[in-house]
Chain A
Amino acid sequence: MTTSRDDLVAHLAEQARCIRRHVVRIAGMSDCHTGGSLSIADLLAALYFHVLRIDPANPAWGGRDYFILSKGHCVPALASALAMRGFFPEEELTRHLELDSLVPGHACARVTPGIDVSTGSLGHGLSVGVGAALGVRMDGAANRVFVLVGDGELQEGSNWEAAMAAAHHRLDGLTAIVDRNMYQTGPTEQMMALEPLAEKWAAFGWSARAIDGHDMRQIVEALEALPFEAGKPSAIVARTVKGQGVSLSRHHHMDRFSPEQMQTALSELGVE
């Protein structure tokens, strides 16, 4: 017997699989930041199909929750989630990088409906999230702010300026989600170690939890428990695998699939 919770988790896992299929198809047509897009697919599915209060028919709705993809190069996954939610037609995803497409190479608020903040240069998103959360508080409103950051990106010092400010200003409407996929252009811990990472957030005054970023049940439980503590911003360190779900992309930053590779990858994602 399945519970409604099991149904929800299965539904969200299917949405994540759909995001991954879109990412693979994009990589079959053009260069694509596959690895980091695939590692955030489960997180995006939970956010866009269960957690975020948004209105695809009115992307500028004042009551919306704000989502900032600080690792802006992973826009193929975000654009897929937005198209699946109805912000624009899914066919547009087949036009990644093409002339005047809605699917750019880095997240662009001017180009893609549903994207509030343009990103691509790492280490910008969290500060913008702090500002949005402060603005919401000025209005006495309840919109929440979510910032998805890469782990390698946390080597940028600006993140820690933002982390300090968020805790100082007691922004419990702000959540940072770390896509802890352990790879940048090489293995993150070898290039510039971040551990102990959850402890770093805690030391900066955040309420931090580590979860398995591919376990939909854990993702949903964490997102539903926000804020973890009143008066503190929340950090979710999501352990992920760069390229999750597609063996060909494992630990890859970018891919451009041949038709055969794309078919192999899609088969792995349940497409015959």
Chain B
Amino acid sequence: MPVPQRKGKRPVAKSFGELLLELAREDPRICGVSCDCWGFLGPLHGEFPERAIEVGIAEQNLIGVAAGLAVRGKTPFALGMNPFVTMRCFEQIRTDLGYGCRNVKVIGAYGGGVMYGGWGCTHHAMEEIGLMRLIPTMTVVMPADGFECEQAVRAAAAAEGPFYIALAGGELPLGVPEAERAFALGRAAVLREGEDVAIIGTGPAVQEALRAGELLAERGVSARVLSMHTVKPLDREAVLAAARTRLVLTIEEHTVIGGLGGAVAEVLAEAGAGTPLRRLGLQDVFACMVGSYEDLKRRFGMAAEAVVDAAMGAA
């Protein structure tokens, strides 16, 4: 089965692998543990063979081994496929990493959101944000593209404590030029300024948020577009600033229960913001269909057109 990856200069595995090697050269504590993601550890293994470990298709052991490495003072990056590395071993992540406050970076290496499209619901990671953000001590980062991904991995390597990062690659269409972009953990990135409505996306859905911003501009609606790459801790300030528009929309390749939309709803409600909120994402359904990734996003309301419809309907 082919590994779906978004278009970009280089495959995610290769660029992540090279970045991990660079970080490992700087910090002897850094190591990699793979759950059948060996391709991501190639560069590290080439230079530091003893610091790259394969555990086979065994997510529970992946996380336990990473926790044990952290007990010994290491900073392991533990790689698995998004839906499996967040669900099969949820309790290990919660107990061995969260409760244990271990300095382990869990990497959803591929298959984030609904990227597997019509290959089937077994391979959809539509709970990854919700599950990871439930865990105390966990930082949850969903980069939108290669730029944010590299920044997130560097930030995680420099920070103490458990992280979940869903890798992303490629470049955002219609985005701010890379040279003008900034990244700070816990701070949403404003990718487009606007006053009428605010679209908050996370992970791969940021692409659709940007496209929706463009489509809305053609209809005379000015939309602010944010990449909420850090879902936990959530940038409350950015959410409340978004609430000063007339409508807040969230979009994610995730069930709307407990994910980005849920997190934003919590902030808006507790602040008494009163601004209407529309959560785009899977509406408490499995995205069961045969077809492409694009087909699936269209049918299940996770494409730019759905954002536009929601924005215009409420406008």
Contacts and interface: CB of A to CB of B under 8 A. Distances in A.
Interface stretch (B68-76, B164-172, B196-204): B68-76
B50 interface: yes
Interface string A109-127: 1100000111011011011
B88 to A, nearest CB: 10
Contacts of B64: 124, 126-128, 130-131, 158, 162
Contacts of B74: 135, 138
Contact of B50 (A110, A120, A132, A138): A138
A168 B53 CA distance: 11
A165 B58 contact: yes
Interface in B43-74: 50-51, 53, 55-56, 58, 60-61, 63-74
B36 interface: no
Given A134-B68, A135-B72, A165-B56, 8 more contacts: A62-B73, A117-B68, A121-B95, A131-B72, A132-B69, A132-B71, A164-B58, A165-B58
B235 interface: no
A121 B61 contact: no
A250 B155 CA distance: 54
Nearest to B64: A127
8 closest Cβ pairs, A-B complex: A131-B68, A127-B64, A135-B72, A161-B61, A131-B65, A161-B58, A132-B68, A128-B68
Contact of B71 (A124, A128, A158, A162): A128
- Interface of B, secondary structure class, is helix
15 contacts: A110-B101, A117-B67, A117-B71, A118-B99, A124-B95, A127-B60, A127-B92, A131-B64, A131-B76, A132-B69, A135-B71, A135-B72, A135-B73, A162-B64, A169-B53
Contact of A137 (B50, B73, B92): B50
A136 interface: yes
A133 B68 contact: yes
